[in-house]
Structure 1
Amino acid sequence: MNPSSPQQNEAALHAVDYWQVIKNRYGIILLTLLLVFMTAAVITYVMPKKYESEAVMELKAQGMGMTPFGGNLEFQTTGNRMSPQFFGTEFEKIKSSKSLYKVVEKLELANKWGVDKSVAVQILKGIVHTENTRGTDLISIRVRHTDKDDAKDVAEEVAKAYKEYRFEIESRDAEKGLHELTKAVQDQEDVVEDNRKLLATISKTKGIIYRGQDSYYGQGGVDEDSAARSALETFNQLQKEEMQLKSQIDSLLKIDSDQLMVTAAGLDLPDNIIRTIYPQYMEAQRGLETLKLTGLGDRHPDILAAKDQIASMKRQLDEGVVTLRETLRTKLNMASNSLKSVESMKESTRAEAINRGLAGQDYVDAKRELESSQTLLESMKLKKIGVETTLKMTQESIVIHEDPQVSQSPVSPNVTMNLVLGAVVGLIFGVGIAFFLEYLDTSVKSLEDVERYLQVPVLAVIPKDVGVLHKQSGMSPDAEAYRILRTNIEFNRKNPEDNAITVVSGGAGEGKSTTLVNLAYICAQGGYTTLMIDADLRRPRLHTFFDINNSVGLTNYLTTELMLEDVILQTPVDNLYFMPSGILPADAAGILNSRRMSELIQDVKQRFDLVLVDSPPILGVSDASVLASEVDLTMIVVQHRKLPRNMLLRVKQAVENVGGHVIGVVLNNVDVRSDSQYQYYTSYYTYYAPAESQIGPPVGAASAPSKPQAEPRGNDSELY
């Protein structure tokens, strides 16, 4: 597994991790909060006090006066009406240089403030603030200044100056509008007069009498188109009658005489004898049939007389039919002639009407133009009267509803707001710094960091501020962490014969020596004969834990012919032995990298169950690397949140480069109370907390004997 790949794909922090960062760096957060809060307090204290005065006024749209005839003036332009940009425009007018220049002159601010007038105007632009009251036509003019009287006077004069400035603009616009309207009325009067003269000329030329809306040719008031319409109506009526008569006659002339006789008997036509004779003829026919029914023969005188009468009537009817045919043809010809006559009259009457219409078109146009111009002139005169009357009326487009007052208390700076804002900003800034430092911090923070980057197990998590165990009560909960360490060492040793372990660290102050002493103490308590060798020939510390003189020790044994019994001392703790460092040499690495040192390690491995070798920091000096190559196993002590991950990798590589074997890592000085992720590993603090009756007196430190107690293991010369 590539140890650098996790650095490129770190998991995102969840809510618990964020809270953990805040807990771990609460000092930075509180310090930042305090600094920002104090800065806000100091700035608030040194800021000058400002007082505010306010004038409230009502704004009306420009020129929206009422005419005496009712309604708004119609000659206004759209720009004068209330628009969404109206208040913004007026605010700019209030703070315009022309308006504020009047304030400077009225209050003599240039002399009072000791600046030029232009500078005074710029100062006013900075202290004058305008605002519209939502949903109303009211605006407020607020002025903030260090002098309460100046704030009141400036607010009052700004309102007055704006009112005068706007009145001048409105008056100028109104006078200009009235002038233009008067000129337009005069021009319109000239147009009306010209139209009247043109109409009079056309009337005389065309012979048309003008009487307002009623005008006519000649006398009688006859409409020039009435004759044409009458002729057209007569022609249409005759044409309809002619068509009906022609159809009727054509049908009568096509039938035979007998059928025509029957049909003609029902027609109401002049000189129609058939209508009189035909009923008599039919009656005579029925009389003949009656006589025959009485049994009279064809030669009977009555039968013969009846037949003669019927024959006579038949001749009269035939003659009547001939006469009727001629009458119908004559009547059809007369209807056609009448229709032609009326059609000729219609055409002539229509032509005359068209000529008269064309002749009077100029008159109609001139009359319409005159009437339209007169109507427009009357409307313009009415508007002119309204404008003149409106200008004479007193109008106020600005009404001041609230005069500015002298403020009794400053409005700036807002102490409460500034301090609250400072606290909030300080808190946010502090949290931001904490997370930024957490982002930049590449030190080891968790067990997963160690195992991910070093690929070795974490043997134990040592809580923060753990003291020296052999000077405390034997029931101290701190000892459990080292019991866990002892157990993990046993189970992580692949070879039971690998009992020589050196304890290294990347830098100084990571708790390496304390970890070694406490581990040795716990192992001795567990029945292991344990030897501690102080091989830190740069800054030895192990002798200080037992108040032992280190003038004779490891260096003496390696450089002289001293016996092993002369440099190994027994501590006040059973089964626990100690070899001091001895006199510090000039070449520590050279002494440690010697054959006698290798023989020493092999010798003590046979005499003791566990040999723990203290070494200097492995980064910067070569002593620890030499020791790692001599012993069986190397245990790395890493202080929580101190050593960067890349440096931790170098520690492991330094051990492996000399052939050493890293058994695991001890994560030291962990604040288990703030880092909640380690509470699982340190739950024994509560579980193993002893009762007060169980706590015995601490084990006192006794002076070590000059030689360790030796017990025979195979022969009398071997030491445990």
Structure 2
Amino acid sequence: MNQSTNPSEASLHAIDYWQVVKNRYGVILLTFLLVFMTALVITYVMPKKYESTAVVQVRQKGTGIQVIPGMADASRYQESSSAMFFPTEFAVIKAQKTLDAAIENLDLVNRWNTDLETVRRTLKGIVDAQDIRGTSLIEIKVRYNDPKDAQKIAKEVAEAYRERRKKLQGDYSNQALDELRKAVIAQEDAVEDKRKLLSQIIRTEGIIYWGDPSVSGGPRGFTKADDAESAAKAYVDLEQEKIQLESQIETLLRYDGPQLMNYASGLSLPDNIIPVLLPQYQEQKRQYEAMKSQGRGERHPMMLSQASNLQSMEKDLVEAVANLRETLKAKLSLAQEQLARLKTRMDVKEDDAVKQGIANQNFVDAKNDFETAQRLLEQLKVKEISETMQTKITEDPIILHEEPMISNVPVSPNVTLNLALGAVVGMIFGIGVAFFLEYLDTSVKSLEDVERYLQVPVLAVIPKDVGVLYKQSGMSPDAEAYRILRTNIEFNRKNPEDNAITVVSGGAGEGKSTTLVNLAYICAQGGYTTLMIDADLRRPRLHTFFDINNSVGLTNYLTTELMLEDVILQTPVDNLYFMPSGILPADAAGILNSRRMSELIQDVKQRFDLVLVDSPPILGVSDASVLASEVDLTMIVVQHRKLPRNMLMRVKQAVENVGGHVIGVVLNNVDVRSDSQYQYYTSYYTYYAPAESQPMPSPVSSQPSQSPQPRAASKKTTSADDSKQDLY
């Protein structure tokens, strides 16, 4: 359900907004014209300014030729890569020193006949700088009311900026070169000091140095550490030999017999003959055992000879083992003596190696310091040469690519832009004023406003500029609005006998009298005997619609003994009668608030089908309240978009306070062309209006006597049903 209603609500809001624009298009147009004309006048009176532009290229330091490859300074490119470079240069262009140079070159103080500070402020206001996107070009723009001065100032500012940047860059380069030369001299002194220290260490420690140790993997000429290492190694080898000899001797002493022989034969010694004798002995013994196994006895000559050989060979083996034992002991004693001497020598070599290591470390440290300082000195000298050559190469930091020209066409004010802005601002401001006035406007704008605040129905909507119907030729389409009013009155009155109706309004000029006359005319056309009573004893107007003299009328009847027939006149319209106001009294409210007035109302109600009483504005005087209390019904005429809602509510309250009954409201003078919501309500007036060729419908009821100057009117003799049928 909400989804279906939301688009309608949005559409309604858009229509409401458009309706506000249409209703107040005059205010919008007036505001638009005022703002637009203001913009036009301001544009016309604004001083014309001419612009002159100089285009320069900024060559940042380090972007020139690289004198020595590999010696580029990273600090030179730091300025180029900085995002703040161009904003900084813009500030430099507009800086005081740059402008002062241009002021001095052009002698602006004397030319403009003012003081220096004023000239500075003027130049700061007319000089501007901006970069051309994607390039290193800067536009120096000058806007001034004199095109020649603008051209000269732009040229001098660009030249002053160029000279200042060139001077700053030269000063920086010279200062850097001076500092570099001082650093070279200081480094040379440091290298000389380190060289002397290295030479002293070499002489003191007796170190032989053949060059860079990194080539051979370490410093050359260092032998003491090698000697200590050799001595230690020889000591270890000799100690192992000694341990081996001790083990062999101990084994020889522990074994005996065949085991001793087997072990001794396995020793690899130069004087060991056991390995030769033992196999021979074993072979002889095997032969002896073989002969014995053959059955030969111990007394056999061959057995005896073999036994003799075995004894001799065994004796030789025992002597050989004894000799071997003595040899090993001698060798052990010699090894112990050598080991003691080698121990002493090794200790000495170790002490020398420790001292040499300390001296060697001092030498290495001094040598590294010397070589590092020497390499740094070489780099500084190369950089000094590079900077010296760089300063000799002239490099202009600023290149002028476009000379400022004298402009013949002013750039300010921009007439097209100013007028366009004036038109846009005027339209926006006008619409804003219209909506603001609409917000402040509390008058009645729609039928819903009337019914919401007054709680009474809207009987009819009368279009704007509706005249007097009976004076118009043919059948006017506007008459349909009053026919609707006539029908709604009949439907909204609860009692058919309530036929006395007063027409009131909150203020003057709301169309109350015109509405009454046209309604009476339409009712008379419908066959109703209708009486109009002009009870507006302040400013009566009804007699002017019919060109009737109002010297005799209501006041005469109320204050004299005149008969009713003497004050009621018949109009040129059939069934339409009129009671003028008569002579205007001093106390109108007192005359109206009388019993004779009540009797008059009761009398005319019996004589006529419809009695319409005109009254003065109800908020201005009390006459209308008195009339509202005398008649049956009260109809309020409200001019569209005039009275505030609270005033309209007071109109209804004033009627109800005296006991009157409000039958409804007539919304008068509605501009249906601008208010689209009423176009649907009134668009059928013309379409369904009777054509001119159609004859007037004859009334159903009988007509009263219509003499040229009737003096009295009689009540209709037709039945009430016929009257209602004609009304519907």
Q: Does structure 1 retain, via aligned residues, the 8 Å contact 2:475–2:692?
A: no
Classify the secondary structure of the residue corresponding to 2:681.
Answer: coil
Classify the secondary structure of the residue corresponding to 1:572.
Answer: coil
CA-based RMSD of the aligned residues comes to 4.9
User: What is the CA-CA distance between 1:555 and the residue it aligns to?
Assistant: 1.0
Q: Does structure 2 retain, via aligned residues, the 8 Å contact 1:571–1:704?
A: no
Give the equivalent residue in structure 2 for 1:398: 398
Superimposed CA distance per residue, residues 349-378 of structure 1 (whole angstroms, 9 cap, x where no aligned partner): 555433211133333322222222222222
Q: Does structure 2 retain, via aligned residues, the 8 Å contact 1:65–1:72?
A: no
Question: What is the identity, as a one-letter code, of the residue corresponding to 1:437?
Answer: L
- 1:474/1:85 CA distance change after superposition, 3 Å: same
Q: Does structure 2 retain, via aligned residues, the 8 Å contact 1:530–1:577?
A: yes
Classify the secondary structure of the residue corresponding to 1:436.
Answer: helix
Classify the secondary structure of the residue corresponding to 1:143.
Answer: strand
Cα separation, 1, equivalents of 2:502 and 2:407 = 79
- 1:561/1:66 CA distance change after superposition, 3 Å: same
Superimposed CA distance per residue, residues 568-607 of structure 1 (whole angstroms, 9 cap, x where no aligned partner): 1222222222111111111111111111111111222222
Cα separation, 1, equivalents of 2:87 and 2:47 = 30
Matched, 1:383 2:387: no
Give the equivalent residue in structure 2 for 1:650: 650
Question: What is the identity, as a one-letter code, of the residue corresponding to 1:654?
Answer: A
1:643-682 matches, cutoff 5 A: 643-682=643-682
User: What is the CA-CA distance between 1:282 and the residue it aligns to?
Assistant: 12
- 1:712/1:29 CA distance change after superposition, 3 Å: closer
Cα separation, 1, equivalents of 2:249 and 2:679 = 132
Gaps of 5+ in 2: 1-8, 292-308, 697-705, 719-728
User: What is the CA-CA distance between 1:686 and the residue it aligns to?
Assistant: 4.9
Give the equivalent residue in structure 2 for 1:705: 709
- 1:441/1:689 CA distance change after superposition, 3 Å: same
Give the equivalent residue in structure 1 for 2:38: 39
User: What is the CA-CA distance between 1:27 and the residue it aligns to?
Assistant: 0.9
Cα separation, 1, equivalents of 2:580 and 2:573 = 16
- 1:597/1:378 CA distance change after superposition, 3 Å: same
Classify the secondary structure of the residue corresponding to 2:628.
Answer: helix
Cα separation, 2, equivalents of 1:260 and 1:663 = 160
User: What is the CA-CA distance between 1:119 and the residue it aligns to?
Assistant: 2.0
Give the equivalent residue in structure 1 for 2:509: 509
Give the equivalent residue in structure 1 for 2:610: 610
Cα separation, 1, equivalents of 2:611 and 2:284 = 176
Question: What is the identity, as a one-letter code, of the residue corresponding to 2:440?
Answer: L
Matched, 1:20 2:19: yes
Q: Does structure 1 retain, via aligned residues, the 8 Å contact 2:126–2:144?
A: yes
Superimposed CA distance per residue, residues 525-579 of structure 1 (whole angstroms, 9 cap, x where no aligned partner): 2222222111111111111122211111111111111111111122222222211
Classify the secondary structure of the residue corresponding to 1:136.
Answer: coil
Give the equivalent residue in structure 2 for 1:296: none
Matched, 1:534 2:538: no
Give the equivalent residue in structure 2 for 1:583: 583
Cα separation, 1, equivalents of 2:197 and 2:441 = 102
Classify the secondary structure of the residue corresponding to 1:160.
Answer: helix
Cα separation, 2, equivalents of 1:655 and 1:649 = 10
Give the equivalent residue in structure 2 for 1:111: 110
- 1:503/1:276 CA distance change after superposition, 3 Å: farther
Give the equivalent residue in structure 1 for 2:472: 472
Cα separation, 2, equivalents of 1:454 and 1:344 = 136
- 1:49/1:249 CA distance change after superposition, 3 Å: farther
1:183-222 matches, cutoff 5 A: 183-213=182-212, 221-222=221-222
Cα separation, 1, equivalents of 2:32 and 2:152 = 42
Classify the secondary structure of the residue corresponding to 1:551.
Answer: coil
Cα separation, 1, equivalents of 2:547 and 2:365 = 135
TM value normalised by structure 1 = 0.82
User: What is the CA-CA distance between 1:504 and the residue it aligns to?
Assistant: 1.1
Question: What is the identity, as a one-letter code, of the residue corresponding to 2:512?
Answer: K
Question: What is the identity, as a one-letter code, of the residue corresponding to 1:525?
Answer: Q
- 1:695/1:220 CA distance change after superposition, 3 Å: same
Cα separation, 1, equivalents of 2:487 and 2:595 = 32
Q: Does structure 1 retain, via aligned residues, the 8 Å contact 2:523–2:530?
A: yes
User: What is the CA-CA distance between 1:327 and the residue it aligns to?
Assistant: 12
Cα separation, 1, equivalents of 2:482 and 2:164 = 90
Classify the secondary structure of the residue corresponding to 1:56.
Answer: strand
User: What is the CA-CA distance between 1:105 and the residue it aligns to?
Assistant: 2.3
User: What is the CA-CA distance between 1:477 and the residue it aligns to?
Assistant: 2.2
Give the equivalent residue in structure 2 for 1:303: none
Cα separation, 2, equivalents of 1:260 and 1:527 = 175
Give the equivalent residue in structure 2 for 1:29: 28
User: What is the CA-CA distance between 1:117 and the residue it aligns to?
Assistant: 3.1
- 1:160/1:324 CA distance change after superposition, 3 Å: same
Q: Which of 430-439 and 494-503 deviates more?
A: 494-503
Give the equivalent residue in structure 2 for 1:365: 365
* Residue-pair matches, total: 697
Cα separation, 2, equivalents of 1:626 and 1:35 = 49
Percent of aligned pairs sharing the same letter? 67
Cα separation, 2, equivalents of 1:703 and 1:346 = 172
Cα separation, 1, equivalents of 2:417 and 2:547 = 61
Q: Does structure 2 retain, via aligned residues, the 8 Å contact 1:67–1:387?
A: no
Question: What is the identity, as a one-letter code, of the residue corresponding to 1:132?
Answer: D
User: What is the CA-CA distance between 1:103 and the residue it aligns to?
Assistant: 1.8
Give the equivalent residue in structure 2 for 1:295: none
Superimposed CA distance per residue, residues 248-288 of structure 1 (whole angstroms, 9 cap, x where no aligned partner): 9999x999x99999999999999999999999999999999
1:330-349 matches, cutoff 5 A: 349=349
Superimposed CA distance per residue, residues 176-206 of structure 1 (whole angstroms, 9 cap, x where no aligned partner): 2222222222222222222222223333322
Classify the secondary structure of the residue corresponding to 1:680.
Answer: helix
Give the equivalent residue in structure 2 for 1:152: 151
1:383-462 matches, cutoff 5 A: 383-462=383-462
Classify the secondary structure of the residue corresponding to 1:681.
Answer: helix
Question: What is the identity, as a one-letter code, of the residue corresponding to 2:158?
Answer: A
Cα separation, 2, equivalents of 1:250 and 1:508 = 156
Q: Does structure 2 retain, via aligned residues, the 8 Å contact 1:63–1:80?
A: no
Q: Does structure 2 retain, via aligned residues, the 8 Å contact 1:198–1:366?
A: yes
Cα separation, 1, equivalents of 2:277 and 2:248 = 22
Question: What is the identity, as a one-letter code, of the residue corresponding to 2:581?
Answer: S
Classify the secondary structure of the residue corresponding to 2:573.
Answer: coil
Q: Does structure 2 retain, via aligned residues, the 8 Å contact 1:57–1:139?
A: yes
Give the equivalent residue in structure 2 for 1:61: 60
Cα separation, 1, equivalents of 2:227 and 2:494 = 140
Q: Does structure 1 retain, via aligned residues, the 8 Å contact 2:618–2:624?
A: yes
Give the equivalent residue in structure 1 for 2:295: none
Superimposed CA distance per residue, residues 219-264 of structure 1 (whole angstroms, 9 cap, x where no aligned partner): 982455444555677789999999999999999x999x99999999
Q: Does structure 1 retain, via aligned residues, the 8 Å contact 2:129–2:140?
A: yes
Give the equivalent residue in structure 2 for 1:353: 353
Classify the secondary structure of the residue corresponding to 2:17.
Answer: helix
Classify the secondary structure of the residue corresponding to 1:53.
Answer: strand
Q: Which of 343-352 and 587-596 deviates more?
A: 343-352
Q: Does structure 2 retain, via aligned residues, the 8 Å contact 1:635–1:664?
A: yes
Q: Does structure 2 retain, via aligned residues, the 8 Å contact 1:66–1:72?
A: no
Cα separation, 2, equivalents of 1:571 and 1:236 = 162
Q: Which of 613-622 and 207-216 deviates more?
A: 207-216
Give the equivalent residue in structure 1 for 2:298: none
Superimposed CA distance per residue, residues 84-112 of structure 1 (whole angstroms, 9 cap, x where no aligned partner): 11111111111122212222222222232
Question: What is the identity, as a one-letter code, of the residue corresponding to 1:126?
Answer: G
- 1:545/1:637 CA distance change after superposition, 3 Å: same
User: What is the CA-CA distance between 1:707 and the residue it aligns to?
Assistant: 2.2
1:173-188 matches, cutoff 5 A: 173-188=172-187
Q: Which of 258-267 and 418-427 deviates more?
A: 258-267
Cα separation, 1, equivalents of 2:682 and 2:254 = 138
Cα separation, 2, equivalents of 1:168 and 1:425 = 51
Gaps of 5+ in 1: 1-9, 292-308, 697-701, 715-720
- 1:450/1:704 CA distance change after superposition, 3 Å: farther
Classify the secondary structure of the residue corresponding to 1:501.
Answer: strand
User: What is the CA-CA distance between 1:162 and the residue it aligns to?
Assistant: 1.0
Classify the secondary structure of the residue corresponding to 1:674.
Answer: coil
Classify the secondary structure of the residue corresponding to 1:422.
Answer: helix
1:98-177 matches, cutoff 5 A: 98-177=97-176
Cα separation, 2, equivalents of 1:327 and 1:496 = 172
Give the equivalent residue in structure 2 for 1:483: 483
User: What is the CA-CA distance between 1:125 and the residue it aligns to?
Assistant: 1.7
Cα separation, 2, equivalents of 1:644 and 1:403 = 69
Superimposed CA distance per residue, residues 46-102 of structure 1 (whole angstroms, 9 cap, x where no aligned partner): 223222111101112246554421356528478744421111111111112221222
Matched, 1:87 2:91: no
